[in-house]
Amino acid sequence: MKSFPSLFLIFLWCFSNQIHALQGPKSASETHFHTVQLSSLLPASACTDPPTTKGLNKRESTLKVFHRHGPCFRQGKDDSAATVPSLSEIFSDDQSRVDSIHARLAPKSNTNKVDLPAKSGQTLRSANYVVSIGLGTPARSLSLIFDTGSDLTWTQCEPCIRSCYQQQDPIFNPSTSRTYSNISCTSPKCSQLASATGHKPDCLSGSTCIYLMQYGDSSFSAGYFSSDKLTLSPTDVIPNFLFGCGQYNEGLFGSTSGIIGLGRGPLSLISQTPPKYGKYFSYCLPSVSSLTGHLSLGKSAPLKNVRFTRFASSQRGASYYFIDIIAISVGGRQLPISQSVFKIAGTIIDSGTVITRLPPGAYSVLSSTFKQAMSRYYPSAPAFSILDTCFDVSNSRAVTVPKVAFTFGGNVVVDLAPQGILIVAKPSVVCLAFAANNAATDVGIFGNTQQKTLEVVYDVAGGNLGFGPAGCR
């Protein structure tokens, strides 16, 4: 009879381990771990518009943000021709964008040469968050990808002299707008296209300024450099907004109407509206593609719990926002990575790159430490596309994951949401949502997966970048 308690304890221990396999280890409740349901890492089949964030409607101009491959973008529209790419295809597009950024920012041996490589172009490819704006008088609704790595805003225009790809919204017809006009080749505005697009402007019959936007995957848009009224809300109207009116457009732009540029160059939306918005904007990207986020322009209400780091100085890529990474922590412990590893090429924050790219020396330490923490509970799984740190969670309904935090300049610590740490590659496989650059001299990129649910604040005039927790869900 004396052996009964021991046998009973063994039974309880075995039963407890089985429960842990289904629900995640109890240690997940510790300070330095998340426990999340696997279902929370996946989008729902229908769009959910979360309640307006407290204070959000007090900002000068706020637009809803949709994922262009999610149900919120397709909601209420004819999506019979829309195709949702696979995760492997998204990652392939993401690598094309990263290659394009690296080509644009790579040091040039001839410092006097200003022309860009023919195929590097600007970057779009995987930029995948969309806002709806109005253009013209009367205003026509257009769904544009917003991109912090681009300057020139453009949309497809009738009569599509050469070709237009299929988009969900009716193509903008400038002949129906009372406020539309072309920009002359002799205008100083025309000369600004060179820095915004990487191509010198052309002229049509010696009068109309012609733009060309070429992307890293050989997609492109070309047409008239134009001016018209931009409507962001009934009370936020920008007259004489400069944009590209595309007459020849081909490539992988999905069913969107074009792009709205939020970069640092003189033709971006931010640079065209300093009297109104003070070169200040913020956004929050939702945790999954079945939820909506927001993009806010201007500063009219204080944002709580936002901490600011300085933008890093850089002479490369005038469109990009450079930042300083100081350290990375996993499970509450700072990784043994020298700051010099991050300083070799620098880092940009980009709304269009999906997966954060780190220097090889930093990624290898992050990967090995993360594997060690996860191996207590989950076996390794084969690599998936660009992600090589993967785990088999086939026996789990919930997953335990160590917290990951970035420290930026000024000792600004940013904790990533679980959706910014893991990606569900397959129904039974999750992967660390980071990848390594090919070389230490490739610029690092803080991508949009890691930005999910954060309020990301760009005080461009002040030279600061802010991060706030729980900006959206």
Name which of 66-80, 281-295, 301-315 the model is least confident about.
Answer: 66-80
For 234-286, where are the E strands, in sequence order? 236-250, 258-261, 280-284
**What is the chain's alpha carbon radius of gyration, rounded to the nearest angstrom?**
24
> Within a 10 A sphere around the Cβ of 463, how many other Cβ atoms?
12
Strand partners, 208: 184, 204
More confident call, 234 vs 158: 158
Mean pLDDT value across residues 270-289: 96
Pairing relation of β-strands 202-204 and 429-432?
Answer: unpaired
Compute the mean pLDDT over every residue in the chain, rounded to the nearest whole number.
Answer: 86
Whether the pLDDT of residue 311 is over 60: the answer is yes
Return the structure tokens found at 16: 């407890």
Whether the pLDDT of residue 304 is over 70: the answer is yes
Q: In the sheet that 333-334 helps form, which strands lie side by side, from edge to edge?
A: 333-334, 325-330, 404-408, 412-415
Catalytic one among 151, 169, 324, 350?
Answer: 350
Return the structure tokens found at 162: 């050469």
Contacts of 277 (CB under 8 A, 6+ apart): 60, 61, 270, 297, 298, 299
Q: What is the pLDDT of residue 93?
A: 85
Distance from C-alpha of 193 to C-alpha of 203, rounded to nearest angstrom: 12
Distance from C-alpha of 278 to C-alpha of 271, rounded to nearest angstrom: 9
DSSP 8-class letter at 313: P
Contacts of 408 (CB under 8 A, 6+ apart): 309, 323, 324, 325, 326, 414, 465, 467
Secondary structure class of 436 (helix, strand, coil): strand
Of residues 450, 410, 344, the one with CA closest to residue 105: 344
Distance from C-alpha of 327 to C-alpha of 296, rounded to nearest angstrom: 29
pTM above 0.85, yes or no: yes
Q: Is 151 a catalytic residue?
A: no
DSSP 8-class letter at 84: P
Secondary structure class of 119 (helix, strand, coil): coil
Catalytic one among 147, 151, 228, 324?
Answer: 147
Whether the pLDDT of residue 18 is over 60: the answer is no
Say if CB 244 and CB 155 are below 8 A apart: yes
Distance from C-alpha of 421 to C-alpha of 430, rounded to nearest angstrom: 10
Return the structure tokens found at 38: 């696997």
Residue by residue, DSSP assigns 403-426 as -EEEEETTTEEEEPPGGGTEEEEE
Per-residue pLDDT tens for 384-415? 999 999 999 998 999 999 999 999 999 999 99
Most confident among 46-50, 70-74, 323-327 (mean pLDDT): 323-327
Per-residue pLDDT tens for 56-77? 555 558 999 999 888 988 665 6
Residues in the chain: 473
Residue with tokens 């999954």: 288
Q: In the sheet that 380-381 helps form, which strands lie side by side, from edge to edge?
A: 380-381, 390-392, 429-432, 422-426
Secondary structure class of 95 (helix, strand, coil): helix
Q: What is the pLDDT of residue 51?
A: 63
More confident call, 16 vs 308: 308
Distance from C-alpha of 33 to C-alpha of 294, rounded to nearest angstrom: 28
Q: What is the pLDDT of residue 285?
A: 96
Q: Is 236 a catalytic residue?
A: no
Domains in the chain with CATH codes: 33-42+303-468 (2.40.70.10), 56-78+85-105+118-297 (2.40.70.10)
Distance from C-alpha of 140 to C-alpha of 427, rounded to nearest angstrom: 41
Sign of the dihedral defined by the CA atoms of residues 196, 342, 467, 300, in that order: negative
